[in-house]
Amino acid sequence: MRRIDMCGLAGIARLDGQDLGPETDSLLNAMADILHHRGPDDRELLRSGPVGMAFTRLSLVDPADGSQPLVSDDGNLVLIANGEVYNHKELAAALPSDVKLRTGSDCEVLLHLYRRHGLDFLRDVRGMFAIILWDRTAGQLILARDRFGIKPLYYHRNRERIVLSSEIKGLFADRATPRRFLWEEALTNPSIAAAPRFTAPGMCTWFDGVESVPAATILRIGLHDGRTTEHRYWELPSERDESAGAESFVERYGELLRESVRECATADTELGLFLSGGIDSASVLALALSEVEEIHTFTALTGGTRLNGDAENAHWLSRELGVHNHQVVFAPDHVPTPEEWTRLLWLTETPMTGPEIYYKHELHRFARIERPELRGMLLGAASDEFNGGYSEDYGGDWDTFLANLEGMERETRLDQRSGLRPWWSGGMSFLSEQALGDLRGGRKTDAYRAYIESEYRKVQQYNVWHEDRTAAGSGVEARVPFLDHRLVELSASVPDHLRPQLLWDKRILRDAVKSLLPRRIAERPKAPFFYGPGTHYAYRMLVNLMRSNDQELIERALAAPGADAYLDADALRQQLALFGSGDTESASVELLMRVVNMGLLSDMVVQPPTLEDMSAGATLRALPAGQDPVVTTGELFAPARPYELDRILVPAAEVLLLTDEEGNWYLTDQGQIEFVLEDGTPILAVLRLMDGRSTLATVLDKAGVAFDEVGDELDTLFGQRLLTSAE
């Protein structure tokens, strides 16, 4: 078994050949204080010569054996690391026989790998990690992160010194680190503006002078002259495997996923799992059950997850698999206070903080209160990004999907040469292929490859960033089995002719786990976490949040440094007023929240608050164990129904009720499966009798079904515009 040790790393090093003075100890202690939530149980400080390190740890068992820094037997190498080396036993077994590991830490093997292989020491390492290693003999500092940047590491440097921290806020303990939000970089970032562009290269840290150690990269920094070299130890593979068939890819994917889940589910303490009711988290759960005796799952019960079926399917699957499922209730009128929101924002350090991040943060808080021994959370995150999970969002078939990707790629390139944009408008271009080729560096673009590279960057900028902070804020370690680099490499190597078969709607995953999961889950269409029929619930929360306390957050954001230069105060206030009651699906709500977040971060960074002094509010409640989330919360989430029993309900245009030769039923919209319907269920009986002439009351009578048996399902179908009232 392996411990789960949530850690915080901090450090400072002179880059001019000088030694640190005793005054550095207070800085290291201050940084450790800021990172206390990442490791409240243990703290170690080291100051020697030009290097100072601080390490905080949340320890579960054998605290002495997992203490850091780790030091080589000759004292020349000193290491602090945050994360897990999943294959440490395999790596240790390959070391020379005279090498003896002195601790039970999975990270100790890194010292010996560095001694043997230099900058190639991470080539065969699997896991998630951020590393600060001091090579005394060479007079160098080695900084590194895992292939996807799951574990964070930031720094600020000048000619004299470099300061490092697991979280950006730790750097502000150093008075030499600038305290200024980067307004222009944030406002022009395509991700934050939700622009139909590929993710920009390079990480945006949002703050002046703050840099992130790149994922899959080793930085070597000289402690005498500051000279820095960058060594990239992993890239997304560019070669496609033309020798393997579809079945081989599926089989291999299943094997690798099983291995990855086994490694992520190995721990000396309790693990939990976020269960959405979709195939990603369900696959991780099914595989984890062969590794752990008991696991508690946690589901966000919101208006959105109730309407899109997530809450219901998570509840159903947990009963099928015999696991505990905690449905944490986000009532329709629930709104965080301005203080609770600013605390979350300071914890996450990103203006992209929104409903998804808030829901996950609250799930982690609930999990730690409900299960005090829980220290690790398994996630189904990052499957969509590399397995075609968003393919249907971009088009109705593979060719349309590719065409839309090519359009995004073109727009991304035209942004770099904005002067050419007027010559590409209205779908017609006066530009030659050569000119467009020049925009791509003279090479023919594989649009799908460009898309995967963009998703790789997005995972770093958004996904693993917030998954780390929302978990760490409650002393929990997030584990992401789908970010095993072997899985991503396999998906990336699928050849062109197999992509439509394997990478449309995550077919490679669905086929790999179909023997592990009920068909209801294995073939369930993707349901966005809060976008879709329940978007208005999440946006109502944000609108009411921004209106709280006389628009406290809006006014604070507008008074922040730099806001007067970049924001139109009247326009922000008018936009908020236009949202009316807050029951809106306009994406402008989320964009306005992101702009407000920018102002709040710009304000907080001037006088950085202490996270522990900010209130997170009361934890939410969950439904009593075993209660059906749809039935139990019917009154709580009851919508104002826009239809009556005396009205005629019919499928919307392009919505069809279909069956196959095996007797399975499907509700499709524009050729895409929206729901899989079980034979013999009341809702199927009702849908089959909707003939465009009979009222709902007549249909219910003919089907022998009471309205209460199908009311919630009709609400869902109506809310998703799959049903409509006939004129």
Question: Which residue, among 488, 503, 418, has the nearest Cα to 453 in the 3D structure?
Answer: 488
- In our burial notation (b when 16+ CB lie closer than 10 A, e otherwise), range 290-325 reads ebeeebbbbbbbbbbbbbbbbbbbbbbbbeebebeb
Question: Which residue, among 280, 527, 488, has the nearest Cα to 392 in the 3D structure?
Answer: 527
Given this model, what pLDDT does residue 55 score? 95
- In our burial notation (b when 16+ CB lie closer than 10 A, e otherwise), range 691-719 reads eeebebeebbeebebeeebbbbbbbbbbb
Given this model, what pLDDT does residue 396 score? 81
Contact yes or no for 315/629 (Cβ under 8 A): yes
| Amino acid letter for position 480 | V
d(CA 206, CA 609): 17
Structure token pair of residue 674: 């929206």
Confidence of residue 63 (pLDDT cuts 50, 70, 90): very low
Please name the residues in contact with 232: beta carbons below 8 A apart, sequence gap of 6 or more. Answer: 214, 216, 217
pLDDT of 672 above 80: no
d(CA 426, CA 433): 17
| Amino acid letter for position 627 | Q
More confident residue, 707 or 50: 50
| Amino acid letter for position 525 | P
d(CA 400, CA 390): 13
More confident residue, 21 or 648: 21
d(CA 125, CA 614): 38
Catalytic residue numbers read 7
- Biggest CA pair distance of the chain: 88
What integer best gives the mean pLDDT of the chain? 91
Contact yes or no for 303/637 (Cβ under 8 A): yes
Q: Please report which residue ranges of 62-167 form alpha helices under DSSP H.
A: 88-93, 109-117
**CATH superfamily ID and name for 6-232:** Aminohydrolase, N-terminal nucleophile (Ntn) domain (3.60.20.10)
pTM: predicted TM-score of the whole model, two decimal places: 0.88
Least confident of 205-209, 264-268, 428-432, 553-557: 428-432
Confidence of residue 3 (pLDDT cuts 50, 70, 90): low
| Amino acid letter for position 169 | K
Least confident of 10-19, 333-342, 670-679: 670-679
pLDDT in tens, 136-166: 999 999 999 999 999 999 999 999 999 999 9
Phi (first) and psi of residue 134, to 5 degrees: -105, 120
Given this model, what pLDDT does residue 1 score? 46
Contact yes or no for 105/70 (Cβ under 8 A): yes
Given this model, what pLDDT does residue 59 score? 63
Contacts by residues 642-647 (CB-CB < 8 Å, ≥ 24 positions apart): 642/718, 642/725, 643/696, 643/714, 643/718, 643/725, 644/696, 645/695, 645/696, 645/697, 645/700, 645/707, 646/695, 646/696, 646/697, 647/695, 647/696, 647/725, 647/726
pLDDT in tens, 570-617: 999 999 998 877 778 788 999 999 999 999 999 999 999 999 999 999
When pLDDT is averaged across residues 381-399 and rounded to a whole number, the result is 91
CATH of the domain spanning 246-387+451-522: 3.40.50.620
More confident residue, 561 or 640: 561
- R_g of the chain, CA atoms, integer Å: 27
More confident residue, 5 or 352: 352
- The order of strands in the sheet holding 51-58 is 42-48, 51-58, 6-14, 161-165, 154-157, 211-212
More confident residue, 221 or 100: 221
Structure token pair of residue 553: 């957050």
User: How is residue 612 annotated by DSSP?
Assistant: G
Structure token pair of residue 126: 């699997």
Residues 218, 221, 222, 227, Cα dihedral to 10° = 110
- The domain 639-725 is classified under which CATH number: 3.90.930.60, 3.40.50.1010, 3.30.2130.10, 3.20.20.140? 3.90.930.60
d(CA 653, CA 18): 74
pLDDT in tens, 494-528: 999 999 999 999 999 999 999 999 999 999 988 77
pLDDT of 25 above 80: yes
Helices 338-348/535-558 angle, 10° precision:
90
Q: What DSSP letter does each residue of 464-512 carry, written as one string? A: HHHHHHHHHTTT-EEE-GGG-HHHHHHHHT--GGGHHHHSSTTHHHHHH
- The order of strands in the sheet holding 296-301 is 324-329, 296-301, 270-274, 374-378, 477-479
Given this model, what pLDDT does residue 62 score? 46
Phi (first) and psi of residue 185, to 5 degrees: -60, -40
More confident residue, 294 or 432: 294
Given this model, what pLDDT does residue 402 score? 92
pLDDT of 130 above 70: yes
pLDDT of 426 above 70: no
Given this model, what pLDDT does residue 369 score? 97
Please name the residues in contact with 32: beta carbons below 8 A apart, sequence gap of 6 or more. Answer: 8, 10, 43, 45, 54, 55, 56
When pLDDT is averaged across residues 293-310 and rounded to a whole number, the result is 94
Given this model, what pLDDT does residue 640 score? 62
Contact yes or no for 199/67 (Cβ under 8 A): no
Question: Which residue, among 235, 233, 293, 283, has the nearest Cα to 260 in the 3D structure?
Answer: 283
